[in-house]
Amino acid sequence: MLITIHIVNSHHIAPGGRPLRAVLVTGCSSGIGHATALALARAGFPVWASARKAGDLGELEAAGCRVLELDVTDERSRAAAVRQVEAEHGAVGILVNNAGNGGGGPVEEVPLDIVREMFETNVFAMIGLCQLVLPGMRAQRSGLIVNIGSAAGLVTPPTGCPYAMTKYAVESLCDALRPEVAPFGIRVTLIQPGAVRTCFMANSQLHQPEGTEDSPYAVYKANVAKMAARAHRDGARGVLEASDVAAVILRAVSAPHPKARYKAGSQARLAPIARHVLGDRGWDAFMRRLVPFPAPQ
């Protein structure tokens, strides 16, 4: 008789004695993904941190994470990353779908190529990774998928197209997925952070329509940019650090029965309430006061 003995690192044992599930985190080169991988590794989880360039993950590797080169928009890259985790652990125990692009502009000016690119990264890649990890999770009759949404998926900010559109889509994705996979012992949770002080805003400038001085929206866009700069400056009230969101994710993955949604920060909690109370006309009037748009000459 052949007896196979599995040796589990005690560092990866939960307080109750059960092995901690392997975690695959996307978009770990900076921001929420980086902070999340670090927080989970420090909590003892076996973490696979991924980014388009594995060379950007040196700090996480030094902290005990396994690192993967993963371009979430590439089907082969997604499949290879999941296979690598499954080869060692049997299945991806927890998937943190964090990778995403920001940016936007007035609907009239946003090139459709930018809209397609953002949906490819923020929505289609997320669905693709869910499809890849679900068979292994079903086989083990357990698993957790954590999708990173946004307060922008609850209330659309000025010039929110197309970023907010993708985050509204993530809301719907989670609502569809939860009841489908629950019978297999798989949970789905959505993290909804408000504004976070990371390099995400700077990176978002790469996904903006090219500005022109004669744009009919030039003043409006400038006022939106000023508002965003004020909201993200040091000491701004209500702005989260990446570590704040990572702490919420850690709480979700550590919970025996994670909630369907976790709101992070006052913006995510209060803005939807204000939107509901004010109604469409009241909210539009509030937005006009918040971001002035002079009448066309």
Among the listed residues 163, 168, 220, 262, the single catalytic one is: 163
- β-bridge pairing 261-264 and 240-241: unpaired
Active site (annotated) includes residue 163: yes
Residues designated as active site: 163
